[in-house]
Structure 1
Amino acid sequence: MESNYHTLKRTDNQLLMITHLSQLLTYITGFGGLVVPLILWATQKEAVDGMDAHGKSILNFQLSIIVYCIISIPLILAFGLGIITLVLVGILAFIMPIVNAIKASNGELPSYPLSLNFIS
């Protein structure tokens, strides 16, 4: 009889929640919001049920935020539209990880609006 132990995944909604909240490190360190979820996803996607889907959503969202910030820079010269865009992106990048951390703690899948699909 062959063991399927390596295919069993544990349920860990707290780790999923922490992974979402780790995006807020960007507001403290400037870069941790992409690095920490990437490390958690890469090391735990095979061990934790749902980590692959949550991790991909988080990374797609963080990469999308970076793209939107880069696009906003030249828009600053166009009547200050880039400043408005940067403020809106900053608000979205702060609120959505909290909303999705709550979803993760309840066992729900995340949803990040305006997220581009870099990793599928």
Structure 2
Amino acid sequence: MDATTERTYGLFVHLSAFSGFIIPLATLFAPLILWLIKRHESEYVDAHGKAAVNFQISYFIYAIVSSILIFVFIGFVLVFIVSIAWIVFVIIATVKASNGELYKYPLSIPFIR
């Protein structure tokens, strides 16, 4: 796999998270499927896939906790913050991947190493 193709797959691993706006739970499963398909072909795609999947799992957990905390009213603020942070970090990671750089998501729990 050449460098341009690697960067393209790295970009799509991160960008595929936005498919969740159209298909429920695709935010988590789209990056996971892309990573599982291409992880053996490139270390670059493997690294971006792990980062994206870890981030999506982490922020899914944060969103659930924030939603539960709506009952004590702080959740309204947390849901907003988590949503904005998710969008911003996915965009940053996508741009970094298209530039050939690795991106470490903030507050991402490393489930997959």
TM-score (norm 1): 0.85
The one of 28, 35, 55 aligned to 2:49? 55
How far does residue 107 in structure 1 lie from its aligned partner after superposition?
0.8
Identity %: 37
Q: Which runs of 4+ in 1 moved over 6 A?
A: none
How far does residue 91 in structure 1 lie from its aligned partner after superposition?
0.8
Structure 1 Cα separation of the partners of residues 64 and 93 of structure 2: 24
The one of 80, 83, 93 aligned to 1:100? 93
Structure 2 Cα separation of the partners of residues 60 and 49 of structure 1: 16
For residue 80 of structure 2, what is the amino acid of its counterpart? V
How far does residue 95 in structure 1 lie from its aligned partner after superposition?
1.4
How far does residue 57 in structure 1 lie from its aligned partner after superposition?
0.6
**Unmatched 5+ stretches in structure 1:** 1-8
For residue 105 of structure 1, what is the amino acid of its counterpart? S
The one of 86, 100, 112 aligned to 2:105? 112
**Unmatched 5+ stretches in structure 2:** none
Structure 2 Cα separation of the partners of residues 27 and 90 of structure 1: 12
Larger helix share, 1 or 2: 2
- Contact persistence 1:68–1:89 (CA under 8 A): yes
Larger Rg: 1
Structure 2 residue aligned with 1:83: 76
RMSD, matched Cα? 1.3
Structure 1 Cα separation of the partners of residues 77 and 40 of structure 2: 40
TM-score (norm 2): 0.90
Deviation string, structure 1 residues 34-83 (Cα, Å, up to 9, x no partner): 111111100101112411111111111100111111211231122x1111
Q: How many residues align?
A: 111
- Is the counterpart of residue 23 in structure 1 residue 17 in structure 2? yes
